[in-house]
Amino acid sequence: MSRARSPCPASSIGVARSLITIQYVPFSFTRRLGLRYAGRPRRSRPETAAPRGRDAARYRERAGPENHLNAAWDPLPPDRRGHPPEHLLTSVAEFGFPLSLAERVRELARIRPNAPAYFVEDRVLDWAAYDAASDRLARILLAGSLPRGESVAVWLPDGPAFHIAYQATERAGLVCLGLGARCGERELAHLLALSGATTLVSAPIVGGVDAVDMVATLRRGGVDIRHHLLVEGDAFVEDPIQLDGAEAPLAEASALTNRGLTATEESLYNTTSGTTGLPKIVIHDQLRWFHFHRFACEVGHLNADDIFMSALPAPFGFGLWTSHVTPTLLGVPTVVMRRFDAASAIEAMCRHQVSVLAAVSTQFILMLESNGFDGPEGLALRSLFTGGEAVPEQRARAFEEKTGAFVLQFYGSNETGAVSATRPEDPPHKRLTTAGRPLEEMNLRLFDAKGRDVTERGTGQPAVKGPVVSRGYLGAPEATEELIRPDGWVLLGDLVELDEDGYLRVIGRTDDIIIRGGKNLSAAAIEDGVATHPAVALAAAIGLPDAVFGERAAAYVELRAGAELDLEGLKEHLAETGIARELWPETLVVFDALPHSVGGKVAKSALRDDALARFSGGIDEDAVHRARAAQRRPDGER
């Protein structure tokens, strides 16, 4: 499926591409990442991480307690969180990583100052301008005499300003609390209080909300916001920045000396997406993202000739590595969007000859629905990284046929990082219906509901130890204890199975199971069935409380333009398709547009609230009470 790049409308990228070659990157850095010089094909490495057939048992045996890697990557005990374990201090040099992402940007500003770092609409931010803008904002932050290690909240729409702000906090020695653009008053108050951040960096308008008005509201509600930095435009050097209503002062340039955070220090408070309730804060350092980048380069054959486009919300894990970390480590440009629009995304992909796209399933489905892909002509796309929610096989296959690109995904979570991945060389059926093979360094094990190791059976709740796991949750010791087992294994909230070839398949979530009359039904399986109807653009399944059966399945759908669908028509289709009757929804609700969380996923908490309001009249009070209680998990999510 590989092919030469197709002609595309003229753009500045034609000039810039000659600058973006691997020869400018230190050889030791590229060699340790498995990269090669631009223009030379990258050879596939042996599938050493792939447990298949007879090797599956050996893989499961390797995942046992005797594995020396398990001890090497134990998560930190509670009294050591916030301090890197000693073995991490050698990892930066061992793998040829830069001391920090800021140091990498400084290097790129020196060796290729005029090469583009970010494209957004008609603006271009080159590496020199990125470096200068980041220093400027860092000096503004330091003018407030913030102590090193203090947290600063960043509430900005997607675009260059977001990345400049992240760079600035790192250079100023401050921990960045990344806030999604869709955060409301309740979420903002909760996260600011939990993080201890008293300085807020925002745009004038974020997610359609006036930021000055929001700050006033939060202050009236008792939230301690001492300083509000208002960033105009994209935070380029020429764009104005105000501090508490006046022109922001600058600290001396010397104030940045010895202030920057290193890769092994806490640098980011990343929030959970809030799909199911108030978000939690996950503690990150850059080293875990450097290792994630290493995995991505190997899995996706990424190289210094790539051009990225990330259509994802930047504050969250998927958006971070695809727009902030990996492109910078490779020294390549990224196309970002202030607001996702399918037609505009396709036009930008063509104009900038994007080779690597990152988008959640909902976004690439919207691209398909826009009819903007008339064929591969004009596109240079090689790979789509997707995930964050179930990837529908038929839509993924259609995307590959329309674009000629491979649809790839990492499986994991904000807390664990990457656990498994699909690769271009995987058989198409496996690539599009599974989450790929486990990454060997992540040492996957499976546990049952009682916490017993059932890896040998091939089905259970996954847990990992490896170089990309997080440090747990901030200010939530009980949630961290539920996340990290006493023996150090970091849990995911899914149920998975390993097939005979070692491919991992997500069969449901531990909290996304509909229990009808004692029978466990996977909401994901119901969604997959409903999504096969030609009228359905997007589907989500939830459990409705039922006085007799406990729960029954309800499907919420978003239809294609001009389509109509009722429950009987859906059931007829499911019967014709051969989908098991137990996976047929008993209720159908059609929305013009399904609600989404700040992370871009379907917000099932909103659907559950709608269902209880819509149908509670026919349900006894005990069933409603049980349903509301079931929505809230012990870790605070819903």
Note the pLDDT of residue 314: 86
For the entire predicted model, the pTM comes to: 0.72
CA distance 404 to 638: 38
CA distance 588 to 580: 17
CA distance 497 to 481: 24
CA distance 303 to 346: 22
Q: How far is CA 379 from CA 40, 176, 343, in A?
A: 21, 36, 14
Note the pLDDT of residue 449: 82
Contacts of residue 369, defined as CB under 8 A and 6 or more positions apart, other chains included, come to 342, 537, 560, 561
Q: Are the C-beta atoms of 394 and 24 separated by less than 8 Å?
A: no
Instruction: Tell me the average pLDDT of the chain.
Output: 81
Note the pLDDT of residue 273: 57
What b/e string do you get for 96-129 counting C-beta neighbours within 10 Å, with b at 16 or more? bbbebbbbbbbbbbeebeebbbbbbeeebbbbbb
- Residue with the bigger pLDDT between 73 and 440: it is 440
Q: Are the C-beta atoms of 487 and 548 separated by less than 8 Å?
A: no
Q: Which helix (H) or strand (E) holds 247?
A: strand 246-247
Note the pLDDT of residue 332: 98
Note the pLDDT of residue 186: 83
Strands lying side by side in the sheet with 281-285: 246-247, 241-243, 227-231, 199-202, 151-155, 175-179, 266-271, 281-285
CA atoms within 13 A on the CB side of 387: 25
Q: Which helix (H) or strand (E) holds 295?
A: helix 286-300
Q: Are the C-beta atoms of 335 and 322 separated by less than 8 Å?
A: no
Picking from 301, 413, 309, 429, the residue whose alpha carbon sits closest to that of residue 367 is 309
CA distance 528 to 461: 21
Contacts of residue 133, defined as CB under 8 A and 6 or more positions apart, other chains included, come to 125, 160, 164, 235, 236, 237
Provide the token pair at 622. Answer: 């005990």
The whole-number average pLDDT for the span 228-242 is 96
Note the pLDDT of residue 41: 32
Task: Provide the CA 92 distance to its chain's centre, in angstroms.
Answer: 23
What confidence category does residue 507 fall into, taking pLDDT thresholds of 50, 70 and 90?
confident
The full 3-state SS of 169-198, as one line of letters, equals HHHCCCEEEEECCCCCHHHHHHHHHHHCCC
Provide the token pair at 61. Answer: 């045996």
Domain 82-414 CATH class label: alpha beta
Task: Provide the CA 457 distance to its chain's centre, in angstroms.
Answer: 30
Instruction: List the single range of 39-43, 178-182, 291-295, 410-414 with lowest mean pLDDT.
Output: 39-43
Note the pLDDT of residue 520: 63
CA distance 50 to 440: 8
Note the pLDDT of residue 104: 97
CA distance 569 to 530: 11
The whole-number average pLDDT for the span 175-189 is 89
CA distance 49 to 443: 10
pLDDT one-digit tens code per residue, 353-381? 999 999 988 789 889 888 888 755 689 99
Local structure of residue 323 (DSSP, 8 states): I
Contacts of residue 638, defined as CB under 8 A and 6 or more positions apart, other chains included, come to 276, 277, 605, 608, 631, 632
pLDDT one-digit tens code per residue, 8-54? 333 332 323 222 222 223 323 333 333 332 332 333 333 333 333 33
Strand extents, DSSP E, 318-394: 334-336, 356-358, 383-386
The full 3-state SS of 396-433, as one line of letters, equals HHHHHHHHCCEEEEEEEECCCEEEEECCCCCCHHHHHH
Q: So where are the chain's domains?
A: 82-414, 511-631
pLDDT one-digit tens code per residue, 191-216? 999 999 999 999 999 988 999 999 99
Q: What angle do CA 540, 368, 585 make, to 5 degrees?
A: 20
Contacts of residue 396, defined as CB under 8 A and 6 or more positions apart, other chains included, come to 364, 386, 407, 432
Local structure of residue 455 (DSSP, 8 states): G
The whole-number average pLDDT for the span 125-152 is 96
Specify burial of residue 132 (Cβ count, 10 A radius: 0-12, 13-18, 19+).
middle
User: pLDDT exceeding 70 applies to what percent of the chain?
Assistant: 78
Provide the token pair at 333. Answer: 């440009």
Residue 65 confidence (pLDDT) above 80: no
443: left (phi over 0), alpha (psi -120 to 50) or beta: left
CA distance 298 to 295: 5
Domain spanning 511-631 has what CATH number? 3.30.300.30
pLDDT one-digit tens code per residue, 288-335? 999 999 999 999 999 999 999 999 888 888 889 999 999 999 999 999
pLDDT one-digit tens code per residue, 75-114? 334 343 334 444 444 456 677 899 999 999 999 999 999 9
What phi and psi, each to the nearest 5 degrees, are found at residue 464?
A: -140, 160
What confidence category does residue 625 fall into, taking pLDDT thresholds of 50, 70 and 90?
very low
pLDDT one-digit tens code per residue, 239-275? 999 999 999 999 999 999 999 999 999 999 998 754 4
What phi and psi, each to the nearest 5 degrees, are found at residue 309?
A: -135, 125
Residue 130 confidence (pLDDT) above 90: yes
